[in-house]
Structure 1
Amino acid sequence: MRTFEEKVAAAAAADVTGWGFGFLDGRATEERPPWGYVRRLADALSSADAALDLDTGGGEVLAEALDLSARRPVRAAATEGWEPNLVRARERLHPLGVEVMAAGPGAPLPFAAGSFDLVTSRHPVAPDWAEIARVLRPGGGYLAQHVGPASAFELVEYFLGPQPEARKGRDPEREAEQARGSGLDVDELLTARCRMEFFDIGAVVWILRKCPWWVPDFTPARYEAKLRQLDAQLRSEPFVAHSTRHLIRATRVGPAERRGRAAR
Structure 2
Amino acid sequence: MDRTFDDLVDEAAAVPVDGWDFSWLEGRATEQRPSWGYQRLMSARLARATAALDLQTGGGEVLAEAGAFPPTMVATEAWPPNVAKATRLLHPRGAAVVVHPEQPPLPFADGAFDLVTSRHPAVVEWPEIVRVLAPGGTYFAQHVGPASVFEVTEYFLGPQPEARRKRDPEIESADARAAGLDIVDLRTERLRMEFLDIGAVVYFLRKVIWIVPGFTVDRYRDRLRDMDELIRRDGSFVAHSSRTLFEARKLYPVSGGRGTCGGGRRPTPPGSPTG
Alignment of 1:132-171 (within 5 A): 132-171=129-168
TM-score (norm 2): 0.91
Name the amino acid aligned to 1:246: T
* TM-score scaled by length of structure 1: 0.95
In the alignment, what sits opposite 1:106? 103
Kindly tell me: are residues 24 and 120 of structure 1, through their superposed partners in 2, closer, same or farther at Cα, counting changes over 3 Å? same
Q: State how far apart, in whole Å, the 1-side matches of 2:139 and 2:212 are.
A: 30
Report the AA paired with residue 173 of structure 1: E
Shift of 1:235: 1.6
1:188-224 alpha-carbon deviations (Å, 9 max, x no partner): 1001000000001000000110012211121111111
The alignment of Structure 1 onto Structure 2 pairs a total of residues equal to 258
Question: Partners in 2 of 1:255 and 1:22 — Cα distance?
Answer: 45
Change (3 A) 1:227 1:261: closer
Aligned to 1:61: 62
Structure 1 stretches of at least 4 aligned residues deviating more than 3 Å after TM superposition: 257-262
Query: Which residue number in structure 2 is paired with residue 48 of structure 1?
Result: 49
**Kept in 1: contact 2:104–2:128 (CA 8 A):** no
Give the residue type in structure 2 aligned to 1:248: F
Deviation at 1:62, TM superposition (A): 0.2
Shift in CA distance, 230/75, structure 1 to aligned 2, threshold 3 Å: same
Q: Which residue of 2 aligns with 1:172?
A: 169
**Structure 1 stretches of 5 or more lacking a match?**
none
Q: 1:259/1:219 Cα in 2 relative to 1: closer, same or farther (>3 Å)? A: closer
What is the deviation of 1:260?
Answer: 4.6
Secondary structure in structure 1 of the residue aligned to 2:97: strand
Q: What is the 5 A alignment of 1:62-81?
A: 62-65=63-66, 68-69=67-68, 72-81=69-78
CA RMSD in angstroms, aligned pairs only: 1.2
Deviation at 1:107, TM superposition (A): 2.8
C-alpha deviations, 1:84-140, integer Å up to 9, x for none?
A: 111111111111100110111113111111110000000011110000000000000
Give the partner amino acid of 1:254. Answer: Y
1:14-53 paired onto structure 2 within 5 Å: 14-53=15-54
Segments of structure 2 that go 5 or more residues without pairing to the other structure are: 264-275
| Matched AA of 1:7 | L
Secondary structure of residue in 2 paired with 1:235: helix
Q: Which has the larger helix fraction?
A: 1
Query: In the alignment, is the contact (CA less than 8 A) between 2:180 and 2:260 conserved in 1?
Result: no
Distance 1:17 1:191 in 2: 28
The aligned counterpart of 2:241 is: 243
